[in-house]
Structure formats: structure tokens, C-alpha cells
Structure 1
Amino acid sequence: MRKLSGIFLVGLCLGAIGAVAVTASHGTSAPEPITVAEAATMKTDSPSTAPSTTPTPTPPPETAPASDPGKAPEKKPAVDAAGLDRLVRGGNVSAVVFDRQGGAATVSVHADRGYTSASIVKLLIALQVLERNGPAADVQRMLARSDDELASRFWMSYGGTSIVTRWAAKLGLTGTRAPTDPGRWGDTRITASDVVRIYQYLLDHKSSTIMKALRDATERGSDGFRQYFGIPDAAAGRPWAVKQGWSCCGPTRMLHTSGVLGEDSRYIVVVLTEHPAKVDYATASKRVTDIVSTLLG
């Protein structure tokens, strides 16, 4: 009995020591399996071996561009060519938004694609007439009401196609071309990037006569066409000044909106569009307004 009791006592002692060891082990290492499981999940979706009792630190996911305080995170462009093309189904669109405060274009889509100018060329006609001390009041009326009769009179009296070639050279308009038919000023060829340059010149040289006319643009043109599509309809209360353009009677319809938007004329906005002839003007006008709304974001 004494021998059995001694063995029994030794067993009890060893059992107690083992229990303490097990209890101590659970108390100090409980977080470790969680840490290892999280690391395994972040590292790979494939089966992994059993975690060790001493896990190695797991590097965080790669976020260097966002976490680097000296480098702004990259942003996906809000406007792209494909997105704008979808708004003019079966047609063409070009758009430029130039931030005068930042000194750079924030949007530039098909900026050098050529279009028939329609009434946008009246900006060059106005520059020519005013430079030669022509009637300022008539120039303002031509622009504000998009008056074709006045434009034709000025075109014939102040140089015709030479108006376009002269001002294209003076302003560095690389994509602007005089019409092949000298009597059709509306067939002048333009690009969105060139129209931006025209507005830069007007604003830099403080052409108050022209800019006032563009701020006073009437809702209806002299031919009755509603010319508040595009920039005016999308402005959402911001100040604007515009010269619009529209043309008919061909396989396609041209519908252009151009001008400045915001306090101190901060943004130059130019949208040139060409639509299939089967698209009516009301639909085309809405599409141009939708494009400007997209550009303004």
C-alpha cells in the first residue's frame, strides 16, 4: 500500500504540473491562431499548411500610391471618348474644357477633328469688323442673335475667305480652313482646339464688345432656332457666355456649343457635334446638353 500510495502521489503531482502548463499555454498564445489565419487569407486563396505556433509577420496589402503622402492617388478619368461617342449615336463629337485658372485642359476628346463651323465662324468675322472700326452695335447683334444676314453683309464687305485665313494665321489655328465656296461662310472648317484658342484670344485681349454680346445671347436666334442648348441649359445657375452654331440641309446636321462658364470666365467649354440627318434638332439639342452636363460632372 505504501508503494502504491507513493506512485499515486507522484502521479498526482505530475498531473497537476501538466494541468498548470496546459492552462498557461492557452492563456498566452490564444491570439496567435487568429493572426495566422488572417495572414493566410490575405496571402492566398489556395490551401495552406497548418500554421506554426510562431507566426511570421505578414506584410499589409500593397497600397503604396494611396499611402504615400507625397503622391496623390491616381483617379480614373471621369470623361472618355467612348462615353461621349455613345451620347451621339451614329454621329461625331469633339469636346474640350480648358481651366483658365489652372492653365490646362481638364477634358480633351477628339480635339483636332474637323467640322463645318456653322455660326461659330462669326467670332472671326466679329474680330475682323471690330479691328477695322466697323459698327460695334451690329457686331453685337450678329453674335447675340446669331444673325445670318448681318454675317453675310460683313463677310462680303470685310474680306470674305481672307477673314478666315488671316485670323487663322494670327491666332495659330492649325485646323481652321476657309470654305471652298467663297460665298458660304458657314462652311468654314474648325476644330475644338482651335475654338478654344479663339476664346483665349478674346479673353486675353479683353474683347468686351464681343464678350458682352455672348453674355447677352438671346434664347432664340434671328431665324427662330432655340440657341440655349448645351452650355446655357447645363450651366445650373453658373454665369455663361456663348456662341452657338447649327446647320441643316445636308447628309448630316451640325450642332455646336461654345463659350465660357463660371466666375471670371474660368472655364472655356467647346463641344462640336455632327448628327445624322434623320436626328431632329430637338433630339440633337438634348444630346449636346447631355454632353456638357457630363463634362461638368
Structure 2
Amino acid sequence: MRKLSGIFLVGLCLGAVGAVAVTASHGSSATPKPIAVAEAATTPSRTPSAKAEPQPEPKPEPEPKAAPKTQPAAEQEPEPGADVDAATLDKLVRGGNVSAVVFDRQTGKTSVSVHADRGYTSASLVKLLIALSVLERGGPVADVQRMLSRSDDDLASRFWVAYGGTSIVTRWVAKLGLTGTRPPAEPGRWGDTRITAADVVKIYQYLLDHGPSAILAALHAATERGSDGFRQYFGIPDAAAGRTWAVKQGWSCCGPTRMLHTTGVLGDDSRYIVAVLTEHPAGVDYPTASKRVTDVVTKLLG
């Protein structure tokens, strides 16, 4: 009895286990929740599965090639006076006379030559020859520079007498081959020396190639007002538009006409020598005449 009962009990137990297994396999009538994609990807499989085919690694997208860097083209500085003629300049100095020469030291060519050999009273331009004479003989550098930068007439008169008077002019005429320059008829009136635009360019060529550096330094330091109070920034300084310049100006106060001259060097390395000589009727006041000279230079510079 006890054996049968034991077997019977074992059977009952096995039947109960089977019933539990059947119940667990069917579960309840509710639909099972799907596994989230992220969860499915991260949950390890409990049963071995077939090996996945190896996927080729994605090829990296080629990086876009940067456009080649180019340096901005350097702006070509227009050649001064390339499209200027005598008629154009004559109109700017109505009732008067104008001469202009522009020499390009880089190319060795003259880009403007308008009435280049017409003669004018030099006014203070002769101070360039006075300065050369004084410094050549060991004269006072500071006084020479003041004479030039401030266009000091008292210093010019003192040097004129002390260093040879009219012989200053005749000596440099011979040395530089000046063809239109001559000393004043009255020996004491240095400002009445006669000169031409073509000769002024020759003087600057000598100054730049052989002259004392103190002279060019003084021309770079030209003051806005001369020693007599006259505004000497007409012409090249007013028209230069930020370019580097060095100037020696000239103006005369008396006589039937007014002389206003602007001369000097312009640009990097003093590339351009510019000489503009003008003569105006006495009825044209200095501000008007000064503006006309500036208009001429503005036209030359384009």
C-alpha cells in the first residue's frame, strides 16, 4: 500500500508540474509587449544564433577640397599723366601759363611733358641750388633744412650772399647741363632766377642720385605754412591723396603776374619726379591760383 501510495503521489506531483508547464507556456490571454528596438539591440541572446554576415565598413566620405587660396592681385597704380595733354592743362590755368613734367625713375621714362621748356621766375625753387652749394662746402645743415622745409627767405638771402650769389646758378647750370636756367638780371634778387620744368626735373634727379640726404629729408618735412605764413601745401601735397611725397614749393608776391610752383617726388622710393610751374594774372587771388595748381596735379595723378 505504501509503495502504491508513493508511486501515486509521485504521479500526482509530476502531473502537477506538467500542468504548471502548460500554463506557463500559454500564459494569459494578454498580448506580450514588444521589446524596444534599443533594448533588443543591447540585450544578449540566450540561445546561439547563426553568425551574421560581416558587413563592409562604410567608406569615409571624401572631404571637400578647399578652393585654392589666391593672393589678391596687387592694384596697379595708374601711371601719372598717361592721358593728359597740353590743352587739358591749359584749361585749368585760365588766362595764365602752365608747364608740367612727370618723370618715372623706375622706368626711366617721362610720362608727361607739357611746355617743358617754357621759362618762369623761379621764386623759391632756386633754394634747391642754394642748398646744394651750402652743403657741398660744409655749411650748417640745420639752417639749410629750415630754409627748405619752411621756405625761409632770410636764410636764403644770407646763403646767397655768403656762397657766391649768381655764381651759384651758373655753376650748377654747367654741372647739371641745365638748358633753360639762368641767374637773375639783378644779382641780389635770387628769386628772379629763370628756370624751366625740364631743368627742375634734372635738379631732382641729381638730388636723388648724388645729393646730400639732408636735402630730401627737409623736403619730406615741409611745413604747411612757410616762414612768411603762406600755405604751401597746394599742388602735390593737397593732391597726393595719402601717397608719400616730398616737396619744394615756390610763390612770388609781386609783379604783373603771380608765380605758383609745386615740385617734388611722389610715391614709394621717390618713384615719380613731378614739376608743375604756373603763372597767373595778378587779378587771380592766391587761394584761387593755389586751387588751380592742385587741380593740375590732381589731373596728372589721375
Q: Please tell me whether residue 238 in structure 1 is matched to residue 238 in structure 2.
A: no
Q: Which amino acid aligns with 2:278?
A: T
For residues 86 and 94 of structure 2, the distance between their equivalents in structure 1, rounded to whole angstroms, comes to 13
Structure 1 residues 206 and 179 mapped into 2: Cα distance closer, same or farther (>3 Å)?
Answer: closer
* Deviation for aligned residue 1:185: 0.1
Calculate the aligned-residue CA RMSD, in Å: 1.0
* Deviation for aligned residue 1:290: 0.3
The C-alpha deviation readout for 1:98-135, integer Å capped at 9, x for no partner, is 00001011000000000000000000000000001000
For residues 82 and 153 of structure 2, the distance between their equivalents in structure 1, rounded to whole angstroms, comes to 39
Structure 2: segments with no counterpart, 5+ residues:
1-80
TM-score, normalised relative to structure 2:
0.73
Q: Which amino acid aligns with 1:141?
A: R
- The structure 1 residue matched to 2:209, chosen from 204, 207, 211, is 204
Aligned equivalent of 2:264: 259
Aligned equivalent of 2:58: none
For residues 106 and 217 of structure 1, the distance between their equivalents in structure 2, rounded to whole angstroms, comes to 26
The C-alpha deviation readout for 1:26-78, integer Å capped at 9, x for no partner, is xxxxxxxxxxxxxxxxxxxxxxxxxxxxxxxxxxxxxxxxxxxxxxxxxx961
Aligned equivalent of 1:293: 298
For residues 223 and 82 of structure 2, the distance between their equivalents in structure 1, rounded to whole angstroms, comes to 34
Matches within 5 A, 1:139-178: 139-178=144-183
TM-score, normalised relative to structure 1:
0.74
For residues 217 and 224 of structure 1, the distance between their equivalents in structure 2, rounded to whole angstroms, comes to 13
Identical columns (%): 82
- The structure 1 residue matched to 2:274, chosen from 266, 269, 283, is 269
Q: Which amino acid aligns with 1:86?
A: K
Aligned equivalent of 1:136: 141
Structure 1: segments with no counterpart, 5+ residues:
1-75
For residues 268 and 296 of structure 1, the distance between their equivalents in structure 2, rounded to whole angstroms, comes to 12
For residues 219 and 299 of structure 2, the distance between their equivalents in structure 1, rounded to whole angstroms, comes to 23
* Deviation for aligned residue 1:281: 0.3
* Deviation for aligned residue 1:206: 4.7
For residues 236 and 90 of structure 2, the distance between their equivalents in structure 1, rounded to whole angstroms, comes to 18
Matches within 5 A, 1:86-235: 86-235=91-240
For residues 206 and 92 of structure 1, the distance between their equivalents in structure 2, rounded to whole angstroms, comes to 30
The C-alpha deviation readout for 1:144-190, integer Å capped at 9, x for no partner, is 00000000000000000000000111011010000000000000000
For residues 206 and 190 of structure 1, the distance between their equivalents in structure 2, rounded to whole angstroms, comes to 19
* Deviation for aligned residue 1:207: 2.3
Give yes or no for contact 2:98–2:278 (8 Å, CA) kept in 1.
yes
* Deviation for aligned residue 1:278: 0.3
Runs of 4+ in 1 over 2 A off after TM superposition: none
Q: Please tell me whether residue 247 in structure 1 is matched to residue 252 in structure 2.
A: yes
* Deviation for aligned residue 1:205: 1.0
Q: Pick the structure with more helix per residue.
A: 1
The C-alpha deviation readout for 1:184-215, integer Å capped at 9, x for no partner, is 00000000000000000000115210000000
Larger radius of gyration: 2
Aligned equivalent of 1:30: none
How many residue pairs match? The answer is 222
Q: Which amino acid aligns with 1:260?
A: V
Matches within 5 A, 1:35-54: none
